Structure 1
Amino acid sequence: MSASRKSGPGRKATLHAVAERAGVSLATASRALTGTYPVASATKARVTEAAAELGYVRGKRVPESDHRLPTVATIVNDVRQDFLIEIVSGIEQLVTGAGHFCLVGSSGYDLTTEFAMLDALVDDPAIEGVIVAGGVYDTEAYRTGIRKRAKRYAEQQVPLVFCGRPGVEGAPVRIVDYDQAGGAASAVSHLLSQGHRRIAYIRGPEGFTTSEGRTEGYYSALASFDIPVDQRIIKTGERVRATGYQAAKELLSEGADITAIFAESDYIASGALTAVRESGLSVPGDISVIGFDDLGLAQETWPPLTTVHLPFDELGRAAARLVLSPPAAGSGRNRSVFGTHLVIRESVRSLW
């Protein structure tokens, strides 16, 4: 990153530029200028001098009387989703601790809305970085649009971070993701190791990055045991409880000779659990069920759900760190992938 954000209409020096000039972290620069936390006098003087040299004014075009703090914005698909709430909580912990304001907005899974939010935020002089959390429909329109916007963010030197979303070739963004395929493969491999061979899969929508990653894991686990994919026992829908309920009902009414269900998410799994019980079968006595995400509800279902655990709050903190302490170009720290692990509860039984 160069010494100052490139200027556009009305653009002034950013807090990032001040931090780099003073040789301190973004958080330290913020604390030195806002006075919200104690900072060594020599450090404060260095930051103040850098701000004066660059013409930085806290809040930039915002009147000082408004006391507007530098802001980190997060865009999510749906603020009601438990896993996104956890990610945002992790972001907020670091952002507010650094003396910044945390702004959260929802796109409602609408690409036009997401792009409009990105366009508005890059032009807001108080915004010091933007995090986009959650999957997306991977279309050509999305890839083209995100490349254009990511390049603008890079030109303006506003960090743009994807959290729980893969990157796009040619788009200069920072990435915090997790091993979707590996997590799904571990779940299906666990069922296979317990003797299950007819494993139905209830997945989310076609083209959605989260769903595609987990589907890859399902396929790879079957392949590792030389088991052919049977499309008749794969059901596609939305990433909601109703999909799991309806899909499991269909599988059972069609007489599918399955012994287990792998659900792409805990929401879907909870619906499948209900459908199996309503059909007069038991979990795991007749059908084993396994989920993905390890949301709070996974411990509250009956039986408690075996699932893949994701460290959502840590994903959020890692994304926030990429904004607050941007790694140097070429450092290899602009992308990180978190691992997953399986949490064994009571919804899977061995057939051996």
Structure 2
Amino acid sequence: MSLPRIAVDAMGGDEGVRVMVEGAALARRRHDRFKFLLVGDEERIKSALDAHPNLRAASEILHSTDVVAGDEKPTQALRRAKTTSMGMAINAVKQGDAGAAVSAGNTGALMAMSKLALRTMPGIDRPALSAIMPTLGDNDVVMLDLGANTECDARNLVQFAIMGAAYARIITGRDNPRVRLLNIGSEDNKGTEDLQLASAQLKEAAASLAMSFDGYVEADKINRGEVDVVVTDGFSGNIALKGIEGTARFVADLLRRSFASSLRSKFGFLVSRPATELLKHHLDPNNHNGAVFLGLNGVVVKSHGSASAIGVANAVAVTARLLENDLTKRIAADLDRLGGSHLGRTAKAAE
């Protein structure tokens, strides 16, 4: 079976070419049917490929020395979309030269370039940024939006739920992922008018879609393993995500400080080291790397800028799974199944 190749912005991220190429090489060991288009400085990429003959044999290089800076404004980056490694990787998807693009570069620029080049799918008003997070259950949780749209109405939230459920079916393997709206309480009368309207629409539509919807989830339940998809606006989602990440770092640093506080504590660390290593692995963002821009006419995945080669490999692996399972067609099929009847109302329209 011939699969579309993955365009990798080799210049993005904190460490650039070396880590991006090494990550792609690791990912190809798991998805050896895929080929790659490595976009960036040809000389540096060729040098990095010397250590990875398995990737070199499956890759082409698209030369570019122009890089989007980490602090560059999206409007500035858009002017150089045709010459930067990030813009050229996205354009490869637009032109059909690649099925998906992966970048560890500037998030705002990546979103702006992706929206301009690929446009949103029919039936989707705004793309959403979605990521995977660990839980205490046997499932990871998909969360969206995480910052692409700071203000969302009920229509946007319903669309996010449809996209998130399609994504979760691929990632979690659940036929009917459990979808919830993030809210300040679980009662039906809690939250804004848009949240309440979105909840009513999703309850009505869930029978037509492959999802289980039962209202709201509070922020302290996101990682309990009781839900597969958490839907919210980008403002609340970004705050919740950073709060979760900050708490994870706080717990890890607190444990480290406690174990170093005395000789007795150091001995306790040696005894409990297998458990602490498991905790470290579970909380390591590299093991859950790869945020997806859902709702575009093409797959674009954002890797953490500080990701290690293992993190980049996981982002590329996520991309490969989405291509193998044709995420865009799945979302389109769900939108068609719903027929748009539940996608047209907002809180203002309902008044």
Question: Please, what TM-score do these two structures have when normalized by structure 2?
Answer: 0.28
Question: Please, what TM-score do these two structures have when normalized by structure 1?
Answer: 0.28
Give the structure with higher Rg (CA). 1
Task: Using CA pairs under 8 Å that are at least 6 residues apart, name the structure with larger relative contact order, 1 or 2.
Answer: 2
Between Structure 1 and Structure 2, the one with more helix by share is: 2
